[in-house]
Amino acid sequence: MGRRFRHLLRLLLVPLSALALQAQTLNIAAAANLKAALDVLGPAFEAGHPGVRLQVSLGASGSLVAQIQQGAPFDVFLAADAEFPARLAAAGLAAGPSFPYATGRLVLWVRRDLRLDPGRDGFRVLLDPAVKRVAVGHPVLAPFGRSAAAALRAAGLEEALKAKLVFGENIAQAAQFLQAGAAEAGFISSSQALAPALAGGLVWVVPQAFYPVQKQCGVLLKRSPQPALAAAFQAYLLGPGAQAQLARLGYGAP
């Protein structure tokens, strides 16, 4: 009888152990420009919190907001702007106010073999006949796409370049267009421009005067089953170690 009881107890403990492990997974919805940063910051956070695993879902900030509004089980949302987290807070889906964690920087990437110099000519290189397609993130869904649209408008080139623009759902897809040769130039984030896959291009940092300051903000989500762990990640992200890493990847201070 004792042996049978111990066997039943083991069967009951297996699913309980699985649930315990699941409870240590922190689900983060993050803007696509953060991939390189989270590839570094994620393992560092896990190392400081044994037994915790980060599950990161990357996408356009607008698309991630739609998923959260539809009930997606995220604990933390890191956007590429301030507007989308504020929208979640206004809808009562946030556990508190949004918090700035970085400032995004927009850059223009141009294929090196075109022998164009964006550092000298800026936006004007996009008018060259050698540039047939210009990759950007979708301005409705991707804040970096919105910044690119604002920059072209400020430069007076919105209409002149309209036929050349090819839109990715998010900034990562715009970068993929550049990597695949589907576009000769494009607007991406400064962190993406550091990727080895984009080493074949020249990069010009778009002056801040051409687009609104892009404060990247995050928010802890009310539905999170582990608010203390989510708060620990927020504290880590705003701490000196993570902030120094973000600066090395081209982000400005929050």
In terms of residue numbers, what domain contains 225?
Answer: 2-103+214-248
Does 4 score more than 70 pLDDT?
no
CA dist 83 and 61 (Å) reads: 10
- Which residues, including other chains, have CB under 8 Å from residue 203's CB and lie 6 or more apart? 107, 108, 109, 110, 118, 190, 193
Residue 194: burial class (beta carbons within 10 Å; 0-12, 13-18, 19+): middle
Q: Write out pLDDT tens, residues 96-143.
A: 999 999 999 999 999 999 999 999 999 999 999 999 999 999 999 999
- In a domain, residue 137? The reply is yes
Does 14 score more than 50 pLDDT?
no
Number of helical H runs and strand E runs in the chain = 10, 10
Q: Write out pLDDT tens, residues 174-186.
A: 999 999 999 999 9
Mean pLDDT score, 147-162: 97
- In a domain, residue 254? The reply is no
Q: Write out pLDDT tens, residues 49-99.
A: 999 999 999 999 999 999 999 999 999 999 999 999 999 999 999 999 999
- The total of structural domains in the chain comes to 2
- In a domain, residue 253? The reply is no
CA dist 250 and 195 (Å) reads: 11
Q: How confident is the model at residue 10 (pLDDT cuts 50, 70, 90)?
A: low
Please check whether residues 132 and 194 belong to one and the same domain: yes
Show the tokens assigned to 133: 């397609």
Handedness of CA 78, 83, 86, 88 (dihedral sign): negative
Give me the chain's average pLDDT, please.
92
HSE-up of residue 76 (Cα within 13 Å, Cβ side): 26
Mean pLDDT score, 16-44: 82
Please check whether residues 155 and 125 belong to one and the same domain: yes
Does 199 score more than 80 pLDDT?
yes
Does 8 score more than 60 pLDDT?
no
Give pLDDT, residue 24. Answer: 86
Give the distance from CA 219 to its chain's centroid. 14
CB 34 within 8 A of CB 143: no
What's phi and psi for 159, nearest 5 deg?
-75, -40
Work out the number of other CB atoms within 10 angstroms of the CB of residue 248.
12
Please check whether residues 139 and 91 belong to one and the same domain: no
- In a domain, residue 140? The reply is yes
CB 171 within 8 A of CB 193: no
Please check whether residues 201 and 241 belong to one and the same domain: no
Does 215 score more than 60 pLDDT?
yes
Mean pLDDT score, 195-221: 96
- In a domain, residue 166? The reply is yes
Helix (H, G, I), strand (E, B) or coil at 212: coil
- In a domain, residue 9? The reply is yes
- In a domain, residue 69? The reply is yes
Please check whether residues 6 and 94 belong to one and the same domain: yes
Q: What is the CATH number of the domain that holds 182?
A: 3.40.190.10
Does 28 score more than 90 pLDDT?
yes
CA dist 149 and 138 (Å) reads: 9
Please check whether residues 13 and 62 belong to one and the same domain: yes
Give pLDDT, residue 60. Answer: 95
For the ranges 6-10, 43-47, 145-149, 167-171, which has the lowest average pLDDT?
6-10
Give pLDDT, residue 16. Answer: 43
Please check whether residues 183 and 195 belong to one and the same domain: yes
Please check whether residues 166 and 221 belong to one and the same domain: no
Q: Are strands 106-111 and 53-59 parallel, antiparallel or unpaired?
A: unpaired
